Amino acid sequence: MPLPPQPRKRPGKKITGGLVALSSAAIVTVYAAGYTQTQSAAAQFDTPIATASVPPTARIATATVAATRTPFQPIQIGSTINGPAPTTAPLSRTTPTPASISTPTSTPKAASAAGAYRDGSYVGLGRSRHGDIEVTVVVQGGKITAAKVSQCLTRYPCSMISALPGQVVARQSAKVDFVSGATDSSTAFREAVANALAKGS
């Protein structure tokens, strides 16, 4: 096999230590300094799930942003699809939210202008390497009040999955724990949300 010329010694050892040391210092610094910030960020987890007043396409594009403001909470796999919006996300609370997300007090008019959705719960399917994702989007008062993965993968509320069967790895080889380079985008999630919203618009 072709090998590029390599230095006999590793003159970079010291430099290396430099880069590795720099990253170690950075991680420690950020970890220490970021603690209080994380706490304040944690406060945002209590932000109610977005009551979106943006068009579906824009909303989907910002799904990640919106989702990261939602509470961390375990999701019941296969929870009732037509169930109510999560009570753990009190809609009366408001905290600073990203520009793409309106507060719960925003008028329905905004939603109407963007094309309001009909109230109800809508289920959409997306496909990923991990298997199908089923997303349930709850619309109340013409706005999206909740969107979550109801099967296979949880997301929105940035969530926890009790079991992610096999993950990428088992699909490819039972002999490895993880696969490096197996990039997985959240395309499936967005696709599922889009599919769900298509039914409600």
Partner 1 sequence: MSGIVPATQTYRRSAIFMDTLVSVQAISDQPEALFDERAVSAFGWFQHVEQICSRFDPESELSRLCARTGEPVSVSPLLYEAVRFALEVARLSDGAFDPTLGHTLARRGFNRHYITGQTVDTPNAPADTPDYRDVRLDPAASTITLLKPLLLDLGAVAKGLAIDLASKELEGFAHSVVEAGGDLRARGRNAANEPWRVGIRHPRHEDALIETLHISDMAVCTSGDYERRNPTGGSHHLIDPQRGVSVDTVASVTVIAPSAMVADALATAAFILGPTRGLPFLAAQGVDGLLFSSALERYATRGLTRYMQ
Footprint of partner 1 (CB under 8 A) = 1-7, 10-13, 15-17, 19-20, 22-27, 29-31, 33-34, 37-38, 41-42, 45, 64-65, 67-68, 72, 74, 98-99, 128-130, 153-155, 158-161, 163-164, 167, 169, 171-173, 175-186, 189
Give the residue ranges of DSSP H helices in 45-115. 56-61, 63-67, 108-114
C-beta of 171 vs 199, nearer to partner 1:
171
Name the amino acid, one letter, at 58.
A
C-beta of 39 vs 92, nearer to partner 1:
39
Residue 149 Rama label (left phi>0; alpha psi -120 to 50; beta): beta
Q: In whole angstroms, how close is the CB of 66 to partner 1 at the nearest point?
A: 11
C-beta of 116 vs 147, nearer to partner 1:
147
Query: What is the spatial distance between Cα 115 and Cα 81, in angstroms, rounded to a whole number?
Result: 24
Q: In whole angstroms, how close is the CB of 116 to partner 1 at the nearest point?
A: 25
Q: In whole angstroms, how close is the CB of 136 to partner 1 at the nearest point?
A: 16
Structure tokens at 173: 């080889």
C-beta of 99 vs 105, nearer to partner 1:
99
Q: In whole angstroms, how close is the CB of 119 to partner 1 at the nearest point?
A: 27
Query: What is the spatial distance between Cα 52 and Cα 50, in angstroms, rounded to a whole number?
Result: 5
Q: In whole angstroms, how close is the CB of 177 to partner 1 at the nearest point?
A: 5
Long-range contacts of 118-123 (CB under 8 A, 24+ apart): 118/142, 118/200, 118/201, 120/82, 120/200, 121/81, 121/82, 121/83, 122/196, 122/197, 122/199, 122/200, 123/81, 123/150, 123/196, 123/199
Bridge partners for 159 per DSSP: 73
C-beta of 143 vs 148, nearer to partner 1:
148
